[in-house]
């Protein structure tokens, strides 16, 4: 079987949360000479990306998303000893994420967190109704590259603008990138408050985060 | 020639006729693919193009095609403040606001519901609600709708007795999360029924179980069950407004009448609503802020037309901020609102807005 066929099976086994097939095919891929990092970047990650896409179309549901993320995490951990020290410590970036204060809606934010995590980002989740000061504290503590905030209501999205101000006042706005998301947010809103990126959905959040890191 | 159009976030853009034709076709196809339904016919797409390229500030329908408005907000638009409630912040009472809506603005229905819009939370202030509702009923003629949402999120700790299902699942406790979620459904249903019964006592004309499905398939199920029970016990008129275009699967396996609710698009949702006894159904189609208004309206019309085709009850699609093809803007632009509404009536065949 070709490498591409094996990677396709890995991708589909993540979507179907088929643990047995996923584990066996990863082993076959490694035996056939594929590098562990290739298995992750070309098999597992795109599979998880597809899971996110299907969730956003109403074709997969939260339990499957969580199980797929769990399966991918386990396989990635099992591949650690097959990667070089540079590869195992390689991070795509450090992200502080949370739903802003006053807002308890976090389903979408949690999906973003999962997709960023399985795509190689180190994600620190502040949860929901997170004080803006905590975004700043954690950004400093973890030397974050990206601060991502979610808001689901017009009444709470203003906090995303306030966060921009707080990051400036803390003197770290120039060394972090900011991302905003949530139902009422738009590119127009991101531009208005000075955020670096807006993502329409979880899959796009990963793309945007990668673009922000590439631009740093 | 360039035509002034909007993007899904409300920005004005200029588009050529060819670009609009392309976007209308793409919007139709996106709905058709996602909903596994038919795209709009070429004739319908051409008619939509005619509506979209009209340079008029306000689009409208011929007199015989006018439809009624029901509202899930109404008076809030007058006394709610701008950012919190999408209103203009007039310092007036709900009774005055409703009288203005009816007498000055010609609304077909009046509305009451508190700004926090949640059945569970309404339990604590039910007597005040009864008082205000009675005053509105005494001073208006149009049907009075009371609206609130099931809001399953309000049952999680610290506001309610249950662990947060999302947190449980994130910890790997998937089955436990699903079990907790199943138990939430009946709690929410009981609250919807109880609040509605209390308002029936003062003469409310209709209950709008609104923003249904916001917390997923259990949210929708609780609304359907509540509707079924209310119909049996009170015969009350019920409007059901959805939260989004498909039912988000937080559980994934919850069923109503033998049908899995998660993943349902409007044309399937309406059949569940009919079964439960809903009198007016309010489908939602979400706006993509990165696409143009022609794309978004074409998509919304495609979904709603199919919903209208299969429905045996009146449809009043949600037409507001970020839904029904309208831009995601606190005050959706008038041109987009009226063009989308005209298309909903003329092409999707809706009974109201």
Answer for the pair A21, A6: CB distance below 8 angstroms, yes or no: no
* pLDDT > 70? residue B85: no
The tally of CA atoms less than 13 A away on the side-chain side of residue A184 is 22
Helix boundaries (H) for chain A? 3-15, 19-31, 36-38, 45-56, 62-78, 85-89, 107-118, 132-141, 154-169, 187-193, 202-215
Q: What percent of chain B stands above pLDDT 90?
A: 88
Chain A residues touching B288 at Cβ < 8 A: 200
Nearest neighbour of A63 by CB, restricted to B252, B265, B329: B252
pLDDT of residue A91: 81
For B176, the closest chain A residue by CA position comes to A63
For strand B12-16 and strand B110-112, is the pairing parallel, antiparallel, or unpaired? Answer: unpaired
**Contacts by A12-17 with C-beta closer than 8 Å and gap 24+?**
A12/A47, A13/A47, A14/A43, A14/A44, A14/A47, A14/A48, A14/A50, A14/A51, A14/A68, A14/A71, A14/A72, A15/A47, A15/A50, A15/A51, A15/A54, A15/A60, A15/A68, A17/A64, A17/A67, A17/A68, A17/A71
Closest CA to B185 of B218, B230, B153, B228: B218
In the predicted model, is pLDDT for residue B156 greater than 70? yes
pLDDT above 70 covers what percent of chain A?
99
Report pLDDT for A167.
97
Rounded to a whole number of angstroms, the distance from the CA of B98 to the nearest CA of chain A is 23
Q: Do A184 and B322 touch (CB under 8 A)?
A: yes
Give the Cα separation of B2 and A154 in Å (integer). 33
CATH of B2-346 among 3.30.1480, 3.80.30, 3.20.20, 3.40.1710: 3.20.20
C-alpha–C-alpha distance, residues B139 and B159, integer Å: 36
Digit-coded pLDDT (tens) for A39-86 = 998 999 899 989 989 998 999 999 999 999 999 989 988 988 887 777
The class that CATH gives domain A3-88 is mainly alpha
How crowded is the C-beta side of A15, counted as CA atoms within 13 Å?
Answer: 18
Nearest in space to A195 (alpha carbons), one of A156, A167, A164: A164
pLDDT average, residue stretch B107-113? 93
Residues in contact with A118: Cβ distance below 8 Å, sequence separation at least 6, in sequence order = A44, A45, A48, A69, A72, A73, A76
Q: Give the per-residue pLDDT at B77.
A: 85
Q: Say if the Cβ atoms of B289 and A155 lie within 8 Å.
A: no
Return the pLDDT at B309.
97
H or E element that contains A179 = strand A177-181
pLDDT at position B346, please?
A: 97
Mean pLDDT of the residues in chain B: 94
pLDDT of B253 reads: 96
Cross-chain Cβ contact A154/B262 below 8 Å: no
How many other C-beta atoms lie within 10 A of the C-beta of residue B295? 26
Give the pairing of strands A177-181 and A146-150.
parallel
Query: Regarding predicted confidence, which is higher, B352 or A117?
Result: B352
Q: Indicate the Cα dihedral angle B295, B346, A183, A101, nearest 10°.
A: 150
- Determine which helix (DSSP H) or strand (DSSP E) holds B136, and give its type and residue range: helix B126-139
Residue numbers in A near B249 (CB within 8 A): 55, 58, 60-63
Residues of chain A with CATH 3.40.50.280: 91-215
- Quick check: B248 and A58 CB within 8 A? yes
Instruction: Say how far apart CA A86 and CA A184 lie, in whole Å.
Output: 40
Task: Give the mean model confidence (pLDDT) for residues B295-299.
Answer: 98
The label of the residue with tokens 């143009």 reads B292
Selected residue with higher pLDDT from B96 and A119: B96
Split at pLDDT 50, 70, 90, the class of A148 is very high
Mean pLDDT of A137-141: 97
Q: Is residue A89 scored above 70 in pLDDT?
A: no
> With 80 as the cut, is the pLDDT of residue A90 above it?
no
- pLDDT of A183 > 70? The answer is yes
A35 by Cβ neighbours in 10 Å (0-12 / 13-18 / 19+) ranks as middle
Class of the CATH domain delimited by A91-215 = alpha beta
User: Residue B237 above 80 pLDDT?
Assistant: yes
pLDDT at residue B82, rounded to an integer: 65
Average pLDDT (B64-69) is 94
Q: Would you state the pLDDT for residue B258?
A: 97
Pairwise CB contact (< 8 Å): A63 & B247: no
Q: CA-CA distances (angstroms) from residue B165 to B162, B169, B214, B251?
A: 8, 6, 14, 9
- Please state, in angstroms and rounded to a whole number, the distance separating the CA atoms of residues B249 and B209: 19
Angle at B256 between CA B254 and CA B261, to 5 degrees: 55
Determine the pLDDT at residue B84: 62
Angstrom distance (rounded) from CA B349 to CA B52: 17
CB neighbours of residue A84 within 10 Å: 11
Statement: residue B74 has pLDDT above 80: no
Q: Write the DSSP string, B145-182.
A: EEEEB--GGGGBTTTSSB--HHHHHHTT-HHHHHHHHH
CA distance to A10, A145, A198, A210, per residue, from A46 (Å): 9, 23, 21, 14
Q: Percentage of chain B with pLDDT > 70?
A: 99
Three-state DSSP state, A125: strand
Nearest CB among B216, B246, B328 relative to A184 is that of B328
Q: Which of B342, B329, B321, B325 is nearest to B291 (CA)?
A: B325
3-state secondary structure of A150: strand
Contact residues, chain B, for A64 at CB < 8 Å? 252
Backbone angles phi, psi at B320, to 5 degrees: -165, -160
Interface test with B, best of A56, A62, A117, A160 (most B CBs within 10 A): A62
In chain A, list all ranges with CATH 1.10.1240.10: 3-88
Can you tell me the mean pLDDT for B138-156?
Answer: 94
Q: What is the pLDDT of residues B208-224, one digit of tens each?
A: 999 999 999 999 999 99
Q: CB pairs below 8 Å between A and B: how many?
A: 84
């Amino acid at each position: 079987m070709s490498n591409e066929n094996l990677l396709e099976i890995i991708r589909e086994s993540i979507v179907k949360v088929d643990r047995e097939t996923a584990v066996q095919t990863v082993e076959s891929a490694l035996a056939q000479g594929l590098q562990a990092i290739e298995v992750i970047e070309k098999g597992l990650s795109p599979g998880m990306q597809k899971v996110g896409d299907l969730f956003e179309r109403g074709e997969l549901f939260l339990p499957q998303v969580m199980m797929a993320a769990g399966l991918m995490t386990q396989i990635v951990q099992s591949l650690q000893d097959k990667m070089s020290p540079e590869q195992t410590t390689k991070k795509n970036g450090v992200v502080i994420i949370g739903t802003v204060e006053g807002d308890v809606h976090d389903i979408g934010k949690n999906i973003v967190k999962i997709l960023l995590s399985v795509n190689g980002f180190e994600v620190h989740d502040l949860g929901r109704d997170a004080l803006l000061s905590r975004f700043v504290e954690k950004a400093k503590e973890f030397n974050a590259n990206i601060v991502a905030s979610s808001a689901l209501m017009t009444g709470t999205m203003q906090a995303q603008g306030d966060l921009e101000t707080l990051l400036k006042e803390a003197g770290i706005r120039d060394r972090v990138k900011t991302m905003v998301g949530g139902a009422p947010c738009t590119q127009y809103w991101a531009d208005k408050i000075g955020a670096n990126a807006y993502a329409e959905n979880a899959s796009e959040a990963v793309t945007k985060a990668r673009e922000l890191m590439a631009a740093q | 020639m360039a035509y002034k159009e909007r993007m899904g976030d409300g920005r004005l853009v200029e588009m050529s006729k060819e670009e609009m034709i392309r976007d209308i076709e793409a919007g139709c196809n996106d709905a058709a693919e996602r909903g596994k339904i038919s795209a709009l016919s070429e004739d319908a797409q051409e008619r939509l193009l005619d509506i979209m390229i009209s340079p008029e500030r306000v689009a409208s329908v011929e007199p015989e095609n006018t439809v009624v408005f029901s509202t899930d907000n109404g008076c809030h638009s007058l006394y709610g403040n701008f950012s919190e409630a999408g209103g203009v912040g007039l310092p007036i009472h709900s009774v005055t606001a409703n009288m203005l809506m009816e007498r000055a603005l010609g609304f077909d229905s009046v509305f009451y519901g508190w700004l926090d819009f949640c059945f569970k939370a309404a339990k604590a202030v039910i007597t005040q609600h009864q008082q205000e509702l009675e005053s509105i009923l005494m001073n208006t003629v149009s049907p009075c709708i009371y609206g609130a949402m099931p809001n399953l999120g309000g049952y999680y700790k610290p506001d309610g007795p249950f662990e947060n299902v999302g947190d449980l699942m994130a910890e790997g406790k998937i089955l436990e999360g699903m079990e907790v979620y199943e138990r939430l459904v009946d709690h929410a249903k009981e609250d919807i029924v109880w609040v509605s019964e209390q308002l029936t006592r003062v003469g409310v004309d209709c209950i709008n179980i609104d923003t249904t499905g916001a917390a997923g398939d259990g949210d929708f199920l609780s609304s359907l069950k509540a509707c079924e029970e209310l119909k049996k016990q009170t015969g009350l008129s019920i409007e059901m407004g959805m939260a989004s275009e498909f039912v988000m699967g937080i559980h994934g396996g919850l069923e109503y009448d033998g049908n899995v609710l998660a993943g349902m698009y409007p044309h399937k949702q309406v059949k569940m609503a009919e079964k439960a006894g809903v009198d007016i159904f309010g489908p939602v189609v979400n706006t993509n802020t990165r696409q143009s208004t022609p794309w978004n309206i074409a998509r919304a019309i495609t979904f709603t037309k199919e919903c209208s085709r299969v429905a045996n009850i009146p449809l009043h699609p949600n037409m507001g901020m970020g839904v029904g093809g309208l831009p995601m803007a606190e005050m959706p632009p008038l041109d987009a609102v009226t063009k989308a509404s005209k298309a909903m009536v003329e092409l999707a065949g809706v009974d109201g807005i």
